[in-house]
């Protein structure tokens, strides 16, 4: 009898606390300042990553301005947190931000991005591509090319470099090609 008196309240507390625990793989907005989360949601609403000017418009696009402001204002910890966001566009922007800010573990982040099959819409001038996030990170952000290809969207002035062995380069490029094959 005494055991059930103690056991029942412990069970109730245990079940009640389960609701407040974070579930693995879910993005927790509480780890990001509200103004940064608002900017992130606007980036998702834009639905693409683009170069400074879109199409033949000589003006800098509002989407580009927002992305650069987000990168500028977000802390390194917030950018690292966005690498776990379910939206590929935020993973790509977070990687770009970490590259610009000189994040020391960028190589590991690059390999972490290869684990998913996240895509983004990328607009280069007036051409739209569907790219795996890892391809955006590798070619657009880091300025690397895939052997026997020279897409026009490779960054000639990357904000960061990552030293890769030939085997690591082969792994990344093969992963990009594998994910591309899944694009509908």
DSSP letter assigned to residue 78: H
Tokens of 75: 């802390």
Q: What is the pLDDT of residues 108-163, one digit of tens each?
A: 999 999 998 899 998 887 788 899 999 999 998 998 888 877 666 667 678 888 99
Between the alpha carbon of residue 163 and those of residues 110, 117, 168, 169, the distances in Å are 11, 23, 9, 9
Q: What is the pLDDT of residues 23-63, one digit of tens each?
A: 335 788 888 999 999 999 999 999 888 776 666 777 888 88
pTM (two decimals): 0.81
pLDDT score at 53: 62
Q: How many residues does the chain have?
A: 184
pLDDT score at 158: 82
Q: Which long-range contacts (CB under 8 A, 24 or more apart) does 85-88 make?
A: 85/27, 85/40, 86/27, 87/44, 88/116, 88/118, 88/119, 88/120, 88/133
What span, in angstroms and rounded, lies between the C-alpha atoms of 89 and 14?
Answer: 37
* pLDDT for 2 beyond 60: no
Tokens of 155: 């960054």
* pLDDT for 167 beyond 90: yes
């Amino acid at each position: 009898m005494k055991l059930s008196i103690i056991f029942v309240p412990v069970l109730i507390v245990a079940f009640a606390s389960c609701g407040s625990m974070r579930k693995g793989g879910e993005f927790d907005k509480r780890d990001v300042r509200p103004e940064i989360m608002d900017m992130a949601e606007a980036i998702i609403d834009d639905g693409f990553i683009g170069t400074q000017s879109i199409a033949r418009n000589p003006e800098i696009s509002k989407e580009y301005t927002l992305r650069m402001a987000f990168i500028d204002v977000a802390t390194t910890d917030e950018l690292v947190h966005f690498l776990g966001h379910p939206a590929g566009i935020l993973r790509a922007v977070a990687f770009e931000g970490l590259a610009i800010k000189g994040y020391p573990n960028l190589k590991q982040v690059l390999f972490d991005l290869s684990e998913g099959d996240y895509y983004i819409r990328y607009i280069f001038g007036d051409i739209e591509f569907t790219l795996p996030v890892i391809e955006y990170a590798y070619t657009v952000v880091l300025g690397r090319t895939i052997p026997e290809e020279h897409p026009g969207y490779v960054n000639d002035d990357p904000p960061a470099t990552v030293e890769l062995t030939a085997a690591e380069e082969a792994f990344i490029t093969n992963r990009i090609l594998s994910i591309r094959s899944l694009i509908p």
